[in-house]
């Protein structure tokens, strides 16, 4: 199969037993040993050692009658598929001949158990309580089948896993070239729908945990929310850094530095970190967004102390090993190329410098990945300096959510972080000053020859998320484009069928945030779609204000979804981090329903008049220039400009 993708991918599949068979559970262990995490065999062979691939994963995907065991590999540029297939063949053969090692199996069991526990924290979702119980009843006749499957996994020895793999992975595999659809037919339904939809009972109110605060010896703040529904603790260090800290240095430094922090420390290699985390059932991640950088730990309660100690080593003592840096650089550059091939990411790379200006901290690619040139020139010293300047205790807040108490967790945090000293240098500052709106809108075309659709994206600046009338602004956006039933989606998707989905969104930011229009449309309706969008915005702020029905809909959507929105520790953790980032009080979430209730039609229209400026939008249209240029020019919005995928303006 040939497609417009930046890297070669290899897929191979085996048919294996159905959902409720013991062998399928044993093959889940085999999949984890072969291709789940940095210490898995195929990751070691393909990504870590040879660097033939930028990613590899192995999965045993369950279905009722027969499941699929799969190996999915994304190749590095210039690598022969034959070489990759040879290595996969060798590693599978070695596994079938020798089976998993004791330590490999132990790590695999820990990861599967931890993932199950985290999934069961939710009521809904693919791995939540409701789905898990329903699947057990549907496929096995017992809602608690997941316990049976976990028992098979936890009691499996290396010989059992090897035998199962030999039974099912020895007889050849299917290598994907072209996959035709099979013929399908429907069966007559026996469901009686005459009674209509069931009545919805009284909706539950939001129950948000009480927030507790403390400080470590070095002054670092600790914010705790107790949640004991599952034996898991989420811990996160949030630093005032993020992609906006790239301003004035090599673009992508923040993202690259955070990604490198868990690759090695002064006392542990990347593989040792991964192995220790797997054995503890812990997950450690390090990442950035526009305004903040974070290191996050998800730990099982029974292994909390050891997990926090490992986490502290990752945060405080990254070694930024040169070999690990070069491995990541290859994958990072490949990811940048993929972004240029994906219209939304391409727009997120090119729009911010246009609306903020290149001297503003936000005038950078919002993907945070930087550019090919900046990442190619990034040195170890750059990472060390970023960590020293931004990843420091006087620039951090510790957030803890989950199955622990302040009495239990505080001594662990004191031991691991209380003696962490800040450098003598002053904290850096970011330029997120206010930017004036432009005098006129712009229309920029990025040529994508042969594209079957055009991606319409537009943006202008809106007030910061922390403003007093933020709820008014966000509910206003829900009416015009923030939800499925909003005006622009009803127009372009439901009524005209020109788009699969059209929306407007407000991206979070401490400073002025972008209000973004998003509409992938069929190529021959590009100009008409853009015209409809502008008409919708103009009517909204003038002749067709928000109706009572629209206000009622967005109120119900926002207020009634609150209990489900904050049911997991991760969601509560995110709320605490947002409170700190945007200067909100600890009880902010608990007051949200009352805030939604007080918004009236006048508030919505006042926010629309304040925020929406249809004539000042900077439009970036990604599509086949030969098919769309003339019609776009005839709209008279602005004289079209042209840009390459690097964000450089071109001659017409």
Say if 431 falls within a structural domain. no
Q: Kindly state whether residues 470 and 358 are assigned to the same domain.
A: no
pLDDT digits (tens, 9 = 90+) for 236-253: 999 999 999 998 899 999
- Looking at residue 78, what is its pLDDT? 82
Task: Categorize the per-residue pLDDT at 186 as very low, low, confident or very high, splitting at 50, 70 and 90.
Answer: confident
355-360's contacts with Cβ under 8 Å and 24+ in sequence apart are 355/435, 355/459, 355/460, 355/461, 355/514, 355/618, 356/435, 356/461, 356/512, 357/435, 359/247, 359/431, 360/247, 360/431, 360/432, 360/433, 360/435
Average predicted confidence (pLDDT) for the chain? 92
In angstroms, the CA 223 to CA 578 distance is 12
pLDDT digits (tens, 9 = 90+) for 199-217: 877 777 888 999 999 999 9
Q: Kindly state whether residues 158 and 243 are assigned to the same domain.
A: no
Q: Which of 175, 198, 223 is the last residue of a domain?
A: 175
Q: Kindly state whether residues 611 and 511 are assigned to the same domain.
A: yes
Query: What stretch of H or E contains 71?
Result: strand 66-75
- Looking at residue 581, what is its pLDDT? 92
Say if 479 falls within a structural domain. yes
pLDDT digits (tens, 9 = 90+) for 293-338: 999 999 999 999 999 999 999 999 999 999 999 999 999 999 998 8
**Are 52 and 213 contacting, i.e. CB atoms less than 8 angstroms apart?**
no
Say if 1 falls within a structural domain. no
- Looking at residue 185, what is its pLDDT? 80
Task: Categorize the per-residue pLDDT at 8 as very low, low, confident or very high, splitting at 50, 70 and 90.
Answer: confident
- Looking at residue 178, what is its pLDDT? 33
Q: Which of 401, 417, 433 is the last residue of a domain?
A: 417
Q: Is pLDDT above 90 for 626?
A: yes
- Looking at residue 175, what is its pLDDT? 85
- Looking at residue 5, what is its pLDDT? 67
Q: Kindly state whether residues 16 and 87 are assigned to the same domain.
A: yes
Q: Kindly state whether residues 70 and 156 are assigned to the same domain.
A: yes
Q: Kindly state whether residues 399 and 524 are assigned to the same domain.
A: no
For residue 69, give the CATH number of its domain: 3.30.830.10
Q: Is pLDDT above 60 for 181?
A: no
- Looking at residue 224, what is its pLDDT? 97
Q: Is pLDDT above 90 for 91?
A: yes
Task: Categorize the per-residue pLDDT at 564 as very low, low, confident or very high, splitting at 50, 70 and 90.
Answer: confident
| HSE (side-chain half, CA atoms, 13 Å) at 501 | 7
Q: Kindly state whether residues 256 and 119 are assigned to the same domain.
A: no
Phi and psi of 648, rounded to 5°? Answer: -95, 130
Say if 621 falls within a structural domain. yes
In angstroms, the CA 502 to CA 492 distance is 7
What percentage of the chain carries pLDDT values higher than 70?
A: 98
In this prediction the pTM is 0.74
pLDDT digits (tens, 9 = 90+) for 590-618: 999 999 999 999 999 999 999 999 999 99
Q: Which of 121, 150, 175 is the last residue of a domain?
A: 175
Query: What stretch of H or E contains 315?
Result: helix 304-316
- The DSSP call for residue 157 is -
Query: Mean of the pLDDT values across residues 489-503?
Result: 96
**Are 136 and 150 contacting, i.e. CB atoms less than 8 angstroms apart?**
no
Q: Which domain holds residue 381?
A: 211-417
Say if 584 falls within a structural domain. yes
Q: Kindly state whether residues 21 and 78 are assigned to the same domain.
A: yes
Give rounded-to-5 percent helix, strand, coil for the chain: 45, 15, 35
- Looking at residue 183, what is its pLDDT? 59
Query: Mean of the pLDDT values across residues 641-652?
Result: 86
Query: Mean of the pLDDT values across residues 393-416?
Result: 96
Q: Is pLDDT above 70 for 41?
A: yes
| Coil/strand/helix, residue 64 | coil
Q: Kindly state whether residues 128 and 269 are assigned to the same domain.
A: no
Least trusted range by pLDDT, from 4-18, 131-145, 571-585: 4-18
CA nearest to 23, candidates 170, 162, 126: 162
Q: Kindly state whether residues 494 and 552 are assigned to the same domain.
A: yes
- Looking at residue 80, what is its pLDDT? 87
Question: In terms of C-beta density within 10 A (0-12 exposed, 13-18 middle, 19 or more buried), how is residue 626 classed?
Answer: exposed
Task: Categorize the per-residue pLDDT at 523 as very low, low, confident or very high, splitting at 50, 70 and 90.
Answer: very high
- Looking at residue 444, what is its pLDDT? 95
Say if 206 falls within a structural domain. no
Q: Kindly state whether residues 326 and 262 are assigned to the same domain.
A: yes
Q: Is pLDDT above 50 for 537?
A: yes
Higher per-residue confidence, 224 vs 648 = 224
Give the total number of structural domains in the chain. 3
Higher per-residue confidence, 432 vs 534 = 534
Within 542-619, residue ranges assigned H as helices are 548-560, 562-565, 569-581, 592-598, 601-611
Q: Is pLDDT above 90 for 512?
A: yes
Query: Mean of the pLDDT values across residues 117-140?
Result: 89
- Looking at residue 646, what is its pLDDT? 81
Say if 74 falls within a structural domain. yes
Least trusted range by pLDDT, from 120-129, 152-161, 416-425: 120-129
Q: Kindly state whether residues 464 and 546 are assigned to the same domain.
A: yes
Task: Categorize the per-residue pLDDT at 4 as very low, low, confident or very high, splitting at 50, 70 and 90.
Answer: low
Say if 223 falls within a structural domain. yes
CA 368 vs. chain centroid, Å, equals 13
């Amino acid at each position: 199969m040939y497609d417009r993708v930046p890297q070669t991918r290899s897929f191979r599949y085996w048919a294996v037993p159905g959902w409720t068979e013991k062998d399928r559970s044993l093959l889940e262990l085999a999949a984890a040993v072969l291709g789940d995490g940095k210490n898995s065999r195929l990751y070691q062979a393909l990504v870590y050692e040879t660097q033939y691939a930028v990613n590899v994963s192995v999965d045993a995907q369950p279905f009722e009658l027969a499941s699929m065991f799969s190996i999915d590999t994304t190749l590095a540029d210039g690598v022969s598929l034959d070489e990759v297939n040879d290595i996969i063949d060798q590693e599978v053969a070695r596994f079938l001949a020798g089976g998993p090692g004791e330590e490999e199996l132990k790590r695999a069991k820990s990861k599967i158990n931890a993932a199950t526990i985290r999934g069961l924290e939710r009521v809904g979702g693919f791995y939540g309580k409701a789905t898990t119980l329903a699947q057990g009843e549907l496929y096995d006749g017992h809602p608690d089948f997941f316990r049976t499957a976990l028992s098979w996994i936890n009691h499996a020895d290396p010989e059992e896993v090897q035998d199962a793999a030999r039974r099912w992975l020895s007889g050849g595999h299917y290598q994907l070239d072209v996959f035709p659809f099979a013929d399908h037919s429907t069966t007559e339904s026996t469901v009686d729908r005459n009674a209509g939809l069931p009545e919805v009972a009284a909706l539950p109110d939001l129950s948000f945990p009480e927030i507790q605060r403390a400080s470590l010896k070095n002054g670092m703040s600790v914010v705790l929310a107790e949640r004991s529904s599952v034996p898991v603790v989420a811990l996160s260090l949030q630093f005032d850094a993020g992609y906006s800290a790239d301003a004035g240095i090599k673009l992508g430094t923040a993202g690259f530095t955070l990604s490198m922090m868990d690759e090695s420390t002064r006392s542990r290699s990347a593989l040792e970190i991964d192995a220790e985390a797997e054995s503890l059932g812990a997950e450690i991640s390090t990442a950035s967004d526009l305004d903040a950088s974070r290191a996050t730990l998800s730990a099982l309660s029974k292994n909390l102390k050891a997990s926090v100690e490992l986490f502290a080593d990752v945060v405080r003592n990254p070694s930024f090993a040169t070999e690990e840096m070069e491995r990541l650089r290859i994958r990072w550059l490949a990811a940048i190329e993929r972004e240029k091939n994906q219209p939304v990411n391409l727009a997120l790379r090119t729009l911010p410098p246009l609306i903020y200006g290149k001297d503003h901290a936000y005038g950078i690619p919002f993907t945070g990945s930087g550019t090919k040139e900046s990442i190619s020139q990034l040195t170890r010293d750059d990472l060390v300096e970023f960590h020293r300047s931004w990843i420091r205790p006087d620039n951090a807040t510790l957030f803890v959510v989950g199955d622990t108490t302040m009495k239990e967790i505080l001594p662990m945090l004191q031991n691991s972080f209380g003696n962490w000293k800040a450098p003598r240098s002053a904290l850096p500052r970011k330029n997120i000053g206010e930017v004036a709106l432009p005098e006129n809108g712009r229309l920029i075309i990025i040529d994508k020859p042969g594209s079957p659709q055009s991606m319409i994206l537009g943006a202008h600046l809106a007030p910061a998320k922390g403003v007093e009338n933020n709820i008014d602004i966000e509910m206003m956006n829900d009416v015009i484009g923030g939800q499925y039933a909003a005006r622009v989606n009803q127009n372009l998707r439901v009524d005209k069928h020109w788009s699969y989905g059209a929306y407007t969104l407000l991206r979070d930011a401490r400073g002025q945030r972008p209000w973004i229009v998003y509409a992938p449309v069929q190529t021959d309706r590009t100009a008409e779609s853009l015209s409809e969008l502008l008409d919708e915005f103009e009517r909204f702020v003038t002749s067709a204000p928000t109706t009572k029905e629209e206000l009622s809909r967005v109120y119900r959507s926002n207020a009634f979804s609150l209990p489900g929105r904050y049911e997991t520790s991760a969601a509560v953790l995110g709320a605490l981090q947002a409170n700190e980032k945007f200067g909100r009080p600890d009880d902010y979430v608990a007051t949200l329903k009352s805030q939604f209730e007080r918004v009236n039609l006048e508030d919505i229209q006042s926010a629309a008049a304040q925020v929406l400026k249809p004539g000042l939008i900077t439009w970036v249209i990604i599509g086949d220039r030969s098919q769309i240029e003339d019609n776009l020019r005839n709209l008279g919005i602005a004289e079209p400009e042209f840009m390459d995928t690097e964000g450089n303006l071109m001659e017409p």
